[in-house]
Amino acid sequence: MPFFEYQAKNSDGATVKGIIEAASEVTAMEILAEKNMLPLSLKLKKERGDFFAKLSFLNKVSPKDLVLFSRQLSVMKSANLPLVQSLRILEKQTVNPKLKTAVAEIADEVDGGARLSQAMANFPHIFSNFFISVIKSGETSGRLDEVLNYLADQQEKDYDLMSKIKGAMIYPAFIVGGLVVVGIVMMVFVVPKLTDILKETGGTLPLTTKMLIGTSSFLSHFWYVLIIALIGLIFGLRFYTKTKQGSLFFDVLKIRLPIFGKLFQRIYLVRFTRSMSTLLAGGVTLVEALKVTGEIVGNAVYRDLVERTVKEVEDGNPVSSVFVQSKEVPVMISHMMSIGEQTGHLDSVLDRLTNFYAREIDNLVTNLVSLIEPLIMVVLGVAVGVMVAAIIMPMYNMASSF
């Protein structure tokens, strides 16, 4: 999406300069009008950076980059450094080209008179609605340094949680990947030579041997069909998951899987409670916090719950009214939310729920890893057993007949 350099008069009558991201010049004018700015000049800004910097998949802003950005900005703001100066320092320290460019342009806008949240809103692919809403609440309440520090803490916890889950799954994924590669090599190069010997005997082959020969022959001669089918399946699933029906189907499937369903459910619940706690602690209203959280919870089932909760709260009903009736939400969460709302400490109650379910996720991941290891051994044993039944036993029978 292109960037436009603008010069405009704000609501106070002061002339400000900045950079805005928009699909067209007309859209840029509309965005400025929404911010109560009267455009004086607007021109397309030439993109900075080399060819590789323009390839977004090579310089994607990772959660780790945002955690580091938030922490450094909160430290400098707590040290009473001016916001523009802090952003200029961060621009020099940032390694990621995409984030570096964004920070530079945010600093230009803030220097021109824009609010930090307004400047960040021009980069929706980097800063989420959750991030911007927390920043906006800090600006409104005059506690930007405290909010930045709290935001950095919560982002670090979220990043640490996801890193633990991914780290715990690396070993099982490596083992399974290794088994698949070894299996393909065996079926394409080793098994055909062994089965040729069995075919030459002219004897009757067992069903398992015939199935093994057929699978090996298919992989050896029609491997490209398998690759095309896999690519088609991947793209087909990606297209289907982007549809409303497909997204709902897979989101329901995730939380109802026999082994991993409980883990996915806890991850989404922690994402909800942590985001709500952070937003409410930052001074965001309950309805606005629910709307933002609904966008970032990451699951259609829970997003629907949050959207229905927004309507209930706007009608004057308790925040826990929809959650109490849902089977996808543990009873403890809905009841504790009700208590937190009644006592006026909903943010702290949500924070305690976050800590509790984050520990439960750690235990679930540990148990899953312990379960996967013997499961892999069982699969490996079955695979070896099939190979023995299909090849070794016919050879043994052939040798014993002499």
Assess whether pLDDT exceeds 90 at residue 232: yes
Q: What is the pTM for the complete model shown?
A: 0.67
Question: For 304-336, what is each residue's pLDDT tens digit?
Answer: 999 999 999 999 888 888 888 888 888 899 899
Question: For 337-396, what is each residue's pLDDT tens digit?
Answer: 989 988 888 989 998 998 899 889 888 888 887 887 788 788 878 877 877 777 777 776
Question: For 78-88, what is each residue's pLDDT tens digit?
Answer: 888 888 999 99
Kindly report each contact of residues 338-347 with a partner whose C-beta sits within 8 Å and lies 24 or more positions away, as own/partner.
Answer: 346/276, 346/280, 346/286, 346/319, 347/276, 347/277, 347/280, 347/281
Q: Residue 24: what pLDDT?
A: 67
Name the band, by pLDDT with cuts 50, 70 and 90, for residue 233.
very high
CA-to-CA distance for 38 and 29, rounded, in angstroms? 9
Name the average pLDDT for the chain: 81
